[in-house]
Amino acid sequence: MQEIERKFLVKHTDFLQNLVGNKIVQGYLSSDPERNVRIRIKGDQAFLTIKGISNTSGTSRFEWEKVIDIKEAEELLKLCLPGVIDKTRYEIQLGNHVYEVDVFEGENKGLIIAEIELSDENEKFEKPEWLGEEVTGDVRYYNSFLVAQPFAVWSI
């Protein structure tokens, strides 16, 4: 139940051409950094996820997830805090790893993040040329933060 991941900005999306992504809509019942509770609809599946506080590097934290009925998820989304995450996720196999590349829409349009899950914080992995600056541990790039402070309102 431990999630270990690294996050990166994406320099360009040329590599996504001709790939099909999954539409994701998610909201938060709680966005407390010590325990956030998320409702997610991804394609034709729905999930209830609880995440704990990240370690000091931001790479690791507790994660519990269960598949739930999609109609229940739609009802739970109505109870969520204001704001919604709307994005398309592409899964890119590279070596032994899968990068999840999220192309955000709505109020977070223009933000593109790649995440890679690892089995160990120090695990080596291939870094493709489209991978940009690492933002692991930067709370501004957590989906729970982007609900309250969307990318569109950031002063860059």
Positions annotated as catalytic residues are: 28
- What is the helix, strand, coil percentage profile of the chain, to 5? 15, 45, 35
User: Which amino acid appears at position 50 of this protein?
Assistant: I
d(CA 113, CA 97): 16
Cα–chain center distance at 113? 8
d(CA 22, CA 84): 16
User: What does the DSSP 8-state code read for residue 64?
Assistant: E
Q: Please return the burial class of 46, using the count of CB atoms within 10 Å of its CB with bins 0-12, 13-18 and 19+.
A: buried
Residue 136, helix vs strand vs coil: coil
Summary count for the chain: helices (H), strands (E): 2, 9
